[in-house]
Amino acid sequence: MLDSKRVTKLLRRYLLAPPKCMLCGSEDCTASLPICSGCFPKYAAAALEGCDVCGAMPVDCRCFEVKNCAALYWLFNYRRPEIKELIIRMKHERLDYALRFLAARLVDQMLIKTNGAPPFDCVCFVPRSKRAALYYNHDHAEELAREVADLLQLPCVKLLSHTGVKGEQKQLSREFRGDAAKIRFEANEKALVNGKLPYKTPLLVDDVVTTGSTAGECARLLKERGAKYVGLCFLAHTPPHPS
Ligand SMILES: [Zn+2]
Ligand SMILES: [Zn+2]
């Protein structure tokens, strides 16, 4: 059932910001499928791109693991140029319909993998640095987390905070990212009850996962504060460079 608040929100959203194609920005699309007919073949090809390592579709790939995360849900191979562009657009613009659409794809995958019963009791997200939040003026990972939480009818909670950046992540080599992540996040004290998380099975949301060191560190912090089982969902995986 839709409550009146939700109806108002949807109306305002639809009237003030009509759906736009998430790949090219054209308004020739719908709220439930925010991709225009011209871009659809490109989207479909990107969505059918398998894992670089095992060749399986993301829903079936089992070759990629992230420390401290018991289950992974992801949609795209980041190597696809249209996916890269989409993620860059999401950082700069609020693509509400695209986030809703992609959140629904992630939840579909979750339902398939968990036989219709996702084991999560809340949704949280990898927080952006203050600088990034100021620069982009919104946080697409948090917005994606809110859409996923809404679809799963779970609370979306800020369980982690960013503690500041020591060197940009991009400039760090893969080996050092693990250590870099340790100084970048902490549990959000405001969300804790007697120093512990009031949730046992959080679902962590991010946009792109590369080595998984950032998400793994966030999951470690959640476990340190009492989480028993952490799931991770994200839009795209950057496959390892061929050696
Ligand atoms: Zn388009
Ligand atoms: Zn794989």
CATH code, domain carrying 185: 3.40.50.2020
At residue 18 the predicted structure's pLDDT band, cuts being 50, 70 and 90, is confident
Element counts in the chain: helices (H) and strands (E): 8, 6
Q: Report if residue 229 sits inside a domain.
A: yes
Q: Report if residue 186 sits inside a domain.
A: yes
Tell me the average pLDDT across 201-205: 98
Q: Report if residue 206 sits inside a domain.
A: yes
Q: How many residues does the chain have?
A: 243
The rounded Å distance from CA 52 to ligand 2 centre is: 7
State which residues form the domain around 50.
21-167+176-237
Q: How far is CA 56 from CA 26, 175, 236, in A?
A: 32, 26, 14
Q: Report if residue 89 sits inside a domain.
A: yes
Q: How far is CA 52 from CA 36, 56, 78, 205, 243, in A?
A: 27, 8, 10, 22, 13
pTM of the model: 0.87
pLDDT in tens, 23-50: 999 999 998 999 999 999 999 999 999 8
**Token representation of residue 168:** 């940009």
Residue 121 in this model has a pLDDT that exceeds 70: yes
Beta carbons of 203 and 114 less than 8 angstroms apart: no
Number of domains in the chain: 1
The rounded Å distance from CA 135 to ligand 1 centre is: 26
Q: Report if residue 63 sits inside a domain.
A: yes
Q: Report if residue 12 sits inside a domain.
A: no
Of the listed ligands, the closest to the CA of 52 is 2
Q: Report if residue 101 sits inside a domain.
A: yes
The rounded Å distance from CA 174 to ligand 2 centre is: 19
The rounded Å distance from CA 189 to ligand 2 centre is: 36
The rounded Å distance from CA 238 to ligand 2 centre is: 11
Residue 99 in this model has a pLDDT that exceeds 60: yes
The rounded Å distance from CA 14 to ligand 1 centre is: 18
Q: Which residues surround ligand 1, an ion (CB under 5 A)?
A: 21, 23-24, 26, 36, 39
Q: Cα 60–48–211 angle (5° rounding)?
A: 60
At residue 135 the predicted structure's pLDDT band, cuts being 50, 70 and 90, is confident
Q: Report if residue 11 sits inside a domain.
A: no
The rounded Å distance from CA 163 to ligand 1 centre is: 38
Cα–Cα distance for residue pair 133/92, rounded to 1 Å: 11
Which 3 state secondary structure label does DSSP give 186? Answer: strand
